């Protein structure tokens, strides 16, 4: 039988690699819960119709969705993003507004796997429903910014744009179609025949011929109605007031169709340009109504966890070893001490592991070294008889006896002394 492996575009995170995952998830929960966002969990798969409003002309829906008919004959899809699922839950449960939710979830897109681009990937994000106030856009954008700062990722470029609304977008769209049609022959093969279906897609195309035509195209920010312009100005003023540095990028187009007015992206400066979007989001005031719910403005973002980790590893982050074990119990006096000491220290809040199977002292010391623990707690027959424990700094140093009764306070003292 051939060796079984994980599918292309997916990966395993082993216990030895997962402490950074824990760090980025915990930091996110802490940042957004302080602003009143509550955790939401939704199903990994939904009725395919939940995702159709992301946009029939987007790659995400057209080419990348994992959809299938299940054994009960239902057409379902693995979620390609979380926003539509949260909107579905909002419509279904009708909570009072404003309603603020945060999530950490995996998503599925059938993309060409490469560094920073996976078929199953993870996002952390927030969504806020029920207020058209531009100050809510500011809160949302600033929370993402604060999150990166809390991880020590400072090489982030925040790009902001406005995509207008139903009052000003139709006229802009017409102008854009006119511009693109006049230069149709210069566009790439994919977009030459798709101008009318969704002209904004052309602006998002990364291929050189389309980029040249896009550069000269009319810009939505120059064609906003008075309300959209006032909204954008208030967002700019709010970000300035909070000292969140940003740049207006009139060419910023998001890959999903539900956006209105404010859109934004956090670009990671330490990442390759093909995968430098650490996260992005914006307002989607029309999505809930388009999905059959009450007219409800909303705004949110999602941040890619894998890309955030890449940015951390690129050296701009803290990379703290918060999950390192404090101690490893080496017991070659029968096993009772390993059982009792590890349980007692864990209950006292220490991170402790131990060996099993009555292995030799040498083999247990090897496991202690491999575990990455800071201290070995050694109980041989002599220590056991004397009611003591040997403490040994695993980065070097001699073993010292301490009284079992003083173990918690002695271990805490030594850990504090070692932590920079």
Which residues of the chain form contacts with ligand HAM (CB under 6 A)?
Answer: 81-83, 109, 111, 116-118, 121, 123, 125, 127, 255-256, 277-282, 284, 300-302, 304, 306-307
Q: Which is nearer to ligand HAM, 138 or 407 (CB)?
A: 138
* Shortest separation between residue 324's beta carbon and ligand HAM, angstroms: 28
* Shortest separation between residue 282's beta carbon and ligand HAM, angstroms: 6
Q: Which is nearer to ligand HAM, 310 or 404 (CB)?
A: 310
Residues facing 265 on adjacent strands = 159, 280
Q: What is the DSSP letter of 2?
A: P
Q: Which is nearer to ligand HAM, 109 or 414 (CB)?
A: 109
* Shortest separation between residue 206's beta carbon and ligand HAM, angstroms: 14
Q: Which is nearer to ligand HAM, 111 or 133 (CB)?
A: 111
* Shortest separation between residue 314's beta carbon and ligand HAM, angstroms: 14
Q: Contact 201/230 with Cβ under 8 angstroms?
A: no
Q: Count other Cβ atoms within 10 Å, centred on residue 124.
A: 25
* Shortest separation between residue 9's beta carbon and ligand HAM, angstroms: 8
Rounded to the nearest 5°, which phi and psi values hold at 375?
-130, 145
Q: Which is nearer to ligand HAM, 228 or 256 (CB)?
A: 256
* Shortest separation between residue 24's beta carbon and ligand HAM, angstroms: 12
* Shortest separation between residue 278's beta carbon and ligand HAM, angstroms: 5
Q: Which is nearer to ligand HAM, 301 or 375 (CB)?
A: 301
Helices 134-150 and 19-33: crossing angle in degrees, nearest 10, is 150
Q: Contact 392/399 with Cβ under 8 angstroms?
A: yes
Q: Which is nearer to ligand HAM, 159 or 402 (CB)?
A: 159
Q: Count other Cβ atoms within 10 Å, centred on residue 160.
A: 23
Task: Give every CB contact of residue 81 below 8 A, 6+ residues apart in sequence.
Answer: 51, 54, 60, 107, 123, 256, 302
Q: Using alpha carbons, select from 347, 365, 350 the residue that is nearest to residue 414.
A: 350
Q: Which residue is nearest to ligand HAM (CB)?
A: 304
User: Would you call 267 helix, strand, or coil by DSSP?
Assistant: strand
| DSSP class per residue in 304-317 | EHHHHHHHIIIIIS
Helix, strand, coil shares, percent, the chain, to 5: 40, 20, 40
């Amino acid at each position: 039988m051939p060796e079984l492996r994980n599918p292309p575009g997916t990966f395993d995170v082993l216990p030895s690699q997962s402490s950074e995952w824990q760090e980025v998830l915990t930091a996110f929960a802490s940042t957004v819960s302080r602003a009143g966002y509550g955790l939401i969990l939704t199903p990994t798969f939904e009725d395919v119709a939940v995702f159709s409003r992301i946009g029939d002309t987007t790659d995400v829906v057209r080419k990348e969705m994992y959809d299938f008919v299940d054994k009960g004959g239902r057409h379902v899809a693995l979620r390609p993003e979380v926003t539509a699922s949260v909107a579905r839950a909002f419509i279904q449960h009708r909570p009072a507004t404003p309603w603020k939710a945060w999530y950490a979830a995996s998503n599925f897109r059938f993309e060409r796997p490469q560094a920073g681009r996976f078929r199953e990937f993870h996002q952390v994000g927030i969504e806020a429903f029920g207020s058209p106030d531009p100050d809510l856009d500011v809160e949302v954008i600033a929370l993402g910014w604060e999150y990166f700062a809390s991880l020590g990722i400072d090489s982030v470029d925040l790009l902001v744009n406005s995509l207008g609304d139903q009052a000003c977008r139709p006229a802009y769209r017409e102008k854009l179609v006119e511009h693109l049609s006049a230069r149709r022959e210069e566009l790439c093969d994919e977009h030459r025949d798709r101008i009318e279906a969704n002209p904004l897609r052309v602006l998002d195309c990364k291929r050189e011929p389309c980029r040249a035509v896009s550069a000269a195209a009319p810009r939505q920010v120059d064609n906003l109605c008075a309300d959209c312009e006032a909204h954008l100005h208030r967002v700019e003023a709010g970000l300035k007031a909070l000292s969140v540095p940003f740049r207006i990028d009139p060419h910023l187009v998001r890959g999903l169709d539900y956006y209105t007015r404010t859109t934004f992206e956090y670009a990671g400066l330490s990442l390759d340009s093909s995968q430098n979007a650490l996260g992005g989001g914006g307002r989607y005031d029309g999505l809930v109504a388009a999905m059959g719910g009450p007219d409800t403005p909303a705004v949110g973002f999602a941040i890619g966890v894998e890309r955030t980790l890449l940015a951390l590893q690129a050296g701009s982050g803290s990379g703290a070893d918060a999950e390192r074990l404090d101690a490893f119990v080496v017991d070659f006096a029968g096993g009772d001490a390993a059982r009792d000491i590890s349980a007692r220290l864990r209950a006292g809040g220490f991170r402790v592991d131990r060996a099993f199977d009555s292995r030799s002292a040498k083999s247990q010391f090897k496991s202690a070294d491999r575990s990455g623990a800071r201290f070995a707690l050694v109980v041989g027959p002599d220590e056991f008889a004397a009611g003591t424990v040997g403490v040994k700094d695993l980065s070097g140093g001699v073993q010292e006896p301490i009284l079992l009764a003083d173990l918690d306070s002695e271990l805490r003292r030594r850990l504090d002394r070692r932590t920079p």
